[in-house]
Amino acid sequence: MAKVAQVVVDVPTMQTNHPYSYEIPVKWAQTVQIGMRVVVPFGKGHRQVQGFIVAMDQPSHYDGQLRPLTALMDPEPVVNQEMLALSKWLADDTYSFWISCLYAMLPAALKGKNKRLVRIVDEIGEQDAAEIFHNLDEIDFATIADQPELVQRVTKLKKQKKVVFDYQVEDRARKKYVAGIKPLLDFGRYEDERQAIAKNAHAQNRLLSYLQNLNGQLVEQKDAIKASGLSAATFRLGEKRGWLKKVPIEEYRQPGGPIPQQLTRPLKLNQEQRVAFGAISQAIRSGGHSKPFLLEGVTGSGKTEVYLQAIAAALDIHKTALMLVPEISLTPQMVRQLRGRFGAKVAILHSSLSQGERYDEWRRIMNGAAQVVVGARSAIFAPLKNLGLIIIDEEHEPNYKQEDSPRYQARRVAEWRSHYNHAVLVLGSATPSLESRSRAHVGLYHLLRMKQRVNHHPLPSTEIVDMRPVVSREGETNFSPRLLALLADRLQKREQSILMLNRRGFSSFVMCRHCGFVLKCPNCDISLTLHMASHTMRCHYCGHEEPIPQVCPQCHSRKIRYYGTGTEKVATELAQLLPAARVIRMDVDTTRRKGMHERLLKEFGEQKADILLGTQMIAKGLDFPNVTLVGVLNADTGLDLPDFRASEHTFDLLAQVSGRAGRAQKPGHVVIQTFNPTNYAITLAQQHNYEKFFATEMNLRYRAGYPPYYYAVKLMASHAEQSVALRAINQIAQQLHTNLAPSTVVLGPSPRPIARMKRRYYYQIVIKYKKDPILHQLLTQILNNTQQKGFRDVQITIDPDPQYFM
DNA sequence: AGCACGCCGACT
DNA sequence: GTCGGCGTGCTC
């Protein structure tokens, strides 16, 4: 009885979100394994799609006629048991398709490209032959897919059976090969050959002794030529004589430059570092279950060195280690540090790698060549075997949450993997997320604290500049006289400055330039966003709406307007105010080109500029010894976003950016310009007082019923027609109201800020709950129902951990 | 997603 | 009478 393969197919819809049974042809009975990619026929016609074998069982539970697998795409599995289990859990946990989760874990190169070719099999009209097929026998359907008229004509031809569709799944995975030389004979046989050749055949003689000395070892032809001094022709001759064989050697594209020759040594740890490292390394060695560690260390407390030594501790007992960092801090400096300590054992997964590089790094991890992985969010899926340690640096970073499907939070995936592998999980931050910190508070995490800076330098002094009088005195400006004076002073002393422009929530809310008043929702205590299309201020949390104010309701000033500014404008202003200063501007515009990010930072590091002006991207991980002044031009923009995490993000950002000043000998100074000089997020950031911020913010969250006191789920419905979307969301709201626990709060439905996106109308519901045992099941059911009657073409998305509610 | 089946309006 | 519109249901 042939085995049956259970295959999850690459058709991301609700109805097909389960494995399908396929017959395994006898010729592959020995080769197929769970976790391999396959090509299978799917549906009517001759459609072929890619899929993953997720199980193999004896008789199938399906009693219809099975179709056989079309092809195996991999010689060995690309998904191991752990990843398979993880993908299944993730799909359920994030309300995503299983297939989407599988792809999320793999390099893009492994996503097969579905091709549909149209082939002529009978006489067709001259006009069709010319206009559709350009007089060829076969074309790719994709080339005409965007021209409805041609599609129609092709469909007609297909009906008449004059053309057929030929479906192919094209594997994008490309390995790079270089020529290699493999000696075929053993030592003695080479000796015999040498006796046999002509006395004057010097080249052949040298080739034979070269091959003899290889001792059967495989070498790259390029190296062989160099080492032996022989020509490629001689090696060709050797192949003909049967002395050697030319074989392709897989080459791994190596991003991040060469491996250093000399590895760095561990640094001596101070008392606090020793305590932290001691606890972590002991947990690693014990190999059992351990609570996650929350490593709370001020900027400059030497967290990185603790991480490095913890990784070394894992490697010592032959385990592997995975480290996540925010994309933006995955700088060449950082890569150098890891490569410097662990050399070729490190694989780097970075968004700016090419598809091929990414694939190669992934294969190095898969085959065990790399035992340490450093990367951004998606690196949490790195297929390391025998995982002993997972580190998430800057764990509070919102970027660890993926904002499109599958909407996973890397921290949560890390917990799953650490559980599965009995691996130690370390979450590190100077300003832990409220979620993590409160978990530490109740004992779910083990809290480790490092309060001292390694170099014993004090944290930079920080001053707050109230921009309200500045603007009323001097009109619109991004620079207070105080900040300008300090910039001029640094310029004169030949020291460098960093200016950060906070662009979060660019021009989306209205603020009074006179008193700092921000219009808030009367029901939700969250600021209203400007909705230009309808000329209203709207709360996207509860749906409240009111007209755009002309005068400030608080101080009756007319200087109420929406707030937002760009780096370009600031740079222009700066050039007028401080013409002597050399400025490097860094934002999405100037760093779009590959490598620009690094180049600009390098230039600044080489002191080719006096001022680095940029957006949030300059707040993290940069370390320039000559920077003694950091200015935050507009601390407020993040603060008044309609986002319950706004204060937290502002505090984190200010703490983060302050850490950029005074890294070396010279003391640093920080200037924060704001229209809200008394706001607690700003004053507490000034005092570097995380503890008090934590207490204050937790209190607010408690009173407003936000995370971490409540969990939140965001559900969205969209449709091309507003009435249909509205009907759908109302029906869902109804279901929720009647079924959920009384303590669960259902907010909305309300339209999204950009109610119409991509020609679709969006509505959303936010559910806040403390404990609701049936919620998950109910949501899953709602998702299933949506693919049926009345919900045609309605798109439902559910986000189990929304970062914001707008 | 992509395809077929099936039931209603305007055409060779 | 049939061609083709898209609403509905299914894919191992």
- The region, left, alpha or beta by phi > 0 then psi within -120 to 50, assigned to residue A748 is left
CA distance A530 to A537: 5
Cite the DSSP H helix spans in A406-448: 410-421, 434-441
The mean-pLDDT minimum among A67-71, A224-228, A796-800 falls in A224-228
> Which nucleotide lies at the shortest CA–C1' distance from A16?
C11
Cα A5 to Cα A20: distance, rounded to the nearest angstrom: 8
pLDDT at A210: 87
* Whether the predicted pLDDT of A781 surpasses 80: yes
pLDDT digits (tens, 9 = 90+) for A103-118: 999 999 999 888 888 8
pLDDT-derived band at A120 (thresholds 50, 70, 90) equals: confident
**Are A139 and A182 spatial neighbours (Cβ–Cβ below 8 Å)?**
no
Which structure tokens are listed for A528? 């209203």
Closest residue (CA) to C1' of nucleotide C4 is A156
Quick one: which H or E segment has residue A347? strand A346-349
How far apart CA A171 and CA A115 sit, in angstroms, is 10
Q: How far is the CA of A413 from the C1' of B1 (A)?
A: 29
pLDDT at A806: 61
Residue A272 has a CB neighbour count (10 Å cut-off) of 18
At A619 the pLDDT is 76
Q: Considering only CA atoms, name the residue closest to the C1' of nucleotide C3.
A: A156
For residues A17 and A762, which has the higher predicted lDDT (pLDDT)? A17
Residue A753: its pLDDT value, please?
A: 59
Phi, psi angle pair for A784, to nearest 5°:
-65, -40
Amino acid at A421: N
- Residues with Cβ within 8 Å of residue A202, at least 6 apart in sequence: none
- pLDDT band, very low/low/confident/very high, at A641 (cuts 50, 70, 90): low
High-pLDDT (> 90) share of chain A, %: 44
In the predicted structure, residue A449 carries a pLDDT above the cut 80: yes
Q: How many CB atoms lie within 10 A of CB A23?
A: 15
Q: How far is the CA of A786 from the C1' of B6 (A)?
A: 23
pLDDT, tens digit, 9 for 90 and up, residues A642-655: 678 889 999 998 98
Q: What are phi and psi of A81, to 5 degrees?
A: -60, -40
Report whether pLDDT(A394) > 90: yes
Measured to protein CB atoms, the chain C nucleotides within 7 Å are: 4-5, 7-12
pLDDT at A506: 45
Output A757 or A665, whichever has higher pLDDT: A665
- What is the mean predicted confidence (pLDDT) over A447-455? 90
pTM of the model: 0.86
The per-residue pLDDT for A525 is 62
pLDDT at A565: 47
Distance A762 CA to B7 C1' (A): 33
Band (A535; pLDDT cuts 50, 70, 90): confident
User: What integer pLDDT is reported at residue A192 of this predicted model?
Assistant: 83
The residue among A756 and A389 whose pLDDT is bigger is: A389
Render pLDDT for A414-440 as a digit per residue (tens, 0 to 9): 999 999 999 999 999 999 999 999 999
* Whole-number distance in Å between A17 CA and C6 C1': 25
A181 pairs with which residues across the strands? Answer: A219, A246
- CA separation for the pair A527, A508 (Å, rounded): 10
Out of A351-355, A534-538, A763-767, the most confident range is A763-767
Contact A324, A393 (CB under 8 A): yes
Residues with CB under 7 A from strand C: A 11, 13, 15-16, 20-23, 41-44, 60, 62, 64-67, 152, 156, 159, 788-789, 792
What does the block give as tokens for A88? 């299944």
The candidate with the shortest Cα–Cα distance to A181, out of A210, A204, A205, is A210
| Averaged pLDDT, A487-499 | 93
A83 pLDDT higher than 50: yes
In Å, what is the CA distance from A569 to each residue of A479, A513, A565, A566, A640? Answer: 12, 18, 7, 5, 22
Q: What pLDDT does A756 receive?
A: 60
The DSSP letter of residue A455 is: T
Q: Do A685 and A630 touch, CB atoms closer than 8 A?
A: no
Q: How confident is the model at residue A260 (pLDDT cuts 50, 70, 90)?
A: confident
Higher pLDDT, A476 or A360: A360
Question: How many Å from the CA of A115 to C1' of C5?
Answer: 28
Single out the residue of A620, A645, A661, A656 nearest to residue A712, CA to CA. Answer: A645
Q: Whole-number Å distance, CA A47 to C1' C9?
A: 18
Classified as helix, coil or strand, A656 is helix
> Which nucleotide lies closest to A49 by the C1' atom and the CA atom?
B1
Under 8 Å between Cβ of A584 and A615: no
Confidence of residue A526 (pLDDT cuts 50, 70, 90): low
Q: Which amino acid is at A562?
A: Y
Calculate the average pLDDT of chain A.
87
Q: Tell me the average pLDDT across A33-48.
A: 92
* Whether pLDDT at A563 is above 60: no
pLDDT reported for residue A116? 87
- CB–CB of A122/A162 below 8 Å? yes
What count of Cα atoms within 13 Å lies in the side-chain half-sphere of residue A228? 27
Residue A51 pLDDT > 70: yes
Give tens-digit pLDDT for A597-612: 778 888 998 999 999 9
**Whole-angstrom distance, CA of residue A170 vs CA of residue A385:** 29
- Residue A43: which nucleotide is closest by CA–C1'? C11
pLDDT, tens digit, 9 for 90 and up, residues A203-256: 888 888 888 888 878 888 888 888 888 888 888 888 888 888 888 888 877 776
Q: What pLDDT, on a 0 to 100 scale, did the predictor assign at position A100? A: 96
Nucleotide nearest to A68 (CA to C1'): C12
Of A758 and A548, the one with more pLDDT: A548
At residue A409, the 3 state secondary structure works out as: strand
In this complex, which residue's CA is closest to the C1' atom of nucleotide C7?
A792
- Residue-level pLDDT at A564: 44
What's the Å distance between residue A155 CA and nucleotide C4 C1'? 12
Q: What is the pLDDT of residues A173-215, one digit of tens each?
A: 888 888 888 888 888 888 888 888 887 888 888 888 888 888 8
Residue among A415, A411, A394 nearest A327 (CA): A394
Query: Which of A41-55, A273-287, A573-587: highest mean pLDDT?
Result: A273-287
- Could you give the 3-state DSSP secondary structure of residue A457? coil
Give distance CA A97 / C1' C9 (Å). Answer: 20
Q: Is the pLDDT of residue A349 over 70?
A: yes
Nucleotide nearest to A156 (CA to C1'): C4
What the block records as the tokens of A55 is: 């199980």
CA of A43 to C1' of B2 (A): 8
Average pLDDT over residues A20-43: 94
Read off the amino acid at residue A386.
Answer: N
Q: How far is the CA of A390 from the C1' of B11 (A)?
A: 69
pLDDT at residue A407 greater than cutoff 80: yes
Q: Which nucleotide is nearest to A44 (CA to C1')?
A: B3
CA of A126 to C1' of C2 (A): 26
The predicted structure's pLDDT at residue A504: 54
- Asked whether residue A593 carries a pLDDT value surpassing 50, the answer given is yes
Task: With H, G, I as helix, E, B as strand and everything else as coil, classify residue A730.
Answer: helix
CA-to-CA distance for A715 and A196, rounded, in angstroms?
81
Most confidently modeled range among A436-440, A560-564, A677-681, A785-789:
A436-440
Angstrom distance, A137 CA to C7 C1':
35
Nucleotide nearest the Cα atom of A18 (by C1'):
C12
Give the HSE-up count for residue A19: Cα atoms under 13 Å, Cβ half-sphere. 21
Residues A169, A49: Cα–Cα separation, whole Å: 6
Digit-coded pLDDT (tens) for A292-341: 999 999 888 899 999 999 999 999 999 999 999 988 677 777 888 899 99
Strand B protein footprint, C-beta under 7 A? A 11-13, 15-16, 43-45, 47, 114, 116, 165
